[in-house]
Structure 1
Amino acid sequence: MTIRWCRRAGPTGGPSGRRSWRVGNLPVPMETVAAFDVDKTLTTRDCVVPFLWRLRGPELLVGLVPRTPGLVAATATRRRDRVKEVVTAAAVRGLPIATVDRVGREFEVGFVRRHLRPDAMARLRWHAANGHRIVLVSASFRSYLEPLAAHLGAHAVLSTDVEVDESGVCTGRLRGANCRGAEKERRLREWLGDARPIVYAYGDSSGDAAMLAFADHSFRVTSAPIPEVPV
């Protein structure tokens, strides 16, 4: 039996521009990817603010005082990315990235795992059991999502991260864009590269809308139980 790679879409390459293998004369999807948002999709609550608080504690509030005008303005105009930038700067600026990552590992074990949704975990395990590639696509921070990915057996993390200077100290700025909204779709497309597998996507908010629209099978997560098997 011959298996060959089909490079073109359309009549010879599968629907919707998807690349495929051929087994004999039958097209078979290259692979399947399951893209999961994290906060309030895999977990029952937000993780960003608790993590930043874990980094600084009450000092976070002190650090926000000189940034209050910018924070108020960003909040009033509903610029969520800017709000996150301001709060992140107060939390991480001047900290060694080694410290941030160490706290991230501790936070993943002590906080994130305690708030994982059992039904979401069952769905993720279903994907894993079927050989699907699992990717976490989240506005949460890399420092605790990479340990979470290792714990869950996920293949990749596409997330928000902090900028680090040449000496390994956090500048207080984000490294690139906040991984939310259109940025989620862009990161996922970039990660997929030229491949176009079948994509399942899971998210709970408007920040996941672009990723959900991109997917072949999208699931808007609510408080309702998630079936173990997609229907």
Structure 2
Amino acid sequence: MKLTIFAATGGIGRHLVDQALAERHYVTAVVRDPGKVTADVRAIKADLLNPDADTLQTAVAGADAVLSGLGPRKLKDAGVTAPGTLAIVQAMRATGVRRLVVVSAAPVSTMPSPGRPNPPRDPGEGFFTRAVLTPLVKAALRKHYVDLARMEDVLRDSDLDWTSLRPPRLTDKPLTGNYRTAIEASAGGHLVSRADVAHGMLAALDRPETIRKAVGIAN
């Protein structure tokens, strides 16, 4: 397939590129600094904080699917994901590309947003996670999760065939391929490697049951 990968030099994006190439996909990497792209792929420079519509349309035109590892590198950068994803969605709609897979976060399942002010209880959360862990994490990273919840509003408001993967805490452990997924629910674990999240994102391309769904993932 022809894949366009946004944030291709980020923690998850690097794994997406490497795994996509290993599966013999043709990759376009969209990054702020093409000099950081070490793989032999087509690289396009774009800043999703100040998006240029023509550049983004060039990046996604002709793609079979778009994958985004977009997210803040530091807590102070929280707020990039929703507007950046909106710019991606607009470019896809302008070029007729429909399949989009993005990364979100597990606590977003119960995070209120303008489009979903009263989110349902997550059926995959145990008592400790629901009563103790999730509230603590939301309090510490509230701005980040508000941004991700609004990103998912952008997806639901679009007519695209999107999938949002919701991992818990990310690690830098190697790819195992041994992870659980759950549609519209937490997958039950507290950790998952970035490499396995990338694997799950690519696997979602062949899972039509994940279209227009959020998917929990965990090791």
Question: Given the two structures, how large is their TM-score scaled by the length of structure 1?
Answer: 0.32
- Name which structure has the greater RCO, CA cutoff 8 Å, separation 6+: 1
Q: Give the number of the structure whose alpha-carbon radius of gyration is greater.
A: 1
More helix by share: 1
Question: Given the two structures, how large is their TM-score scaled by the length of structure 2?
Answer: 0.33
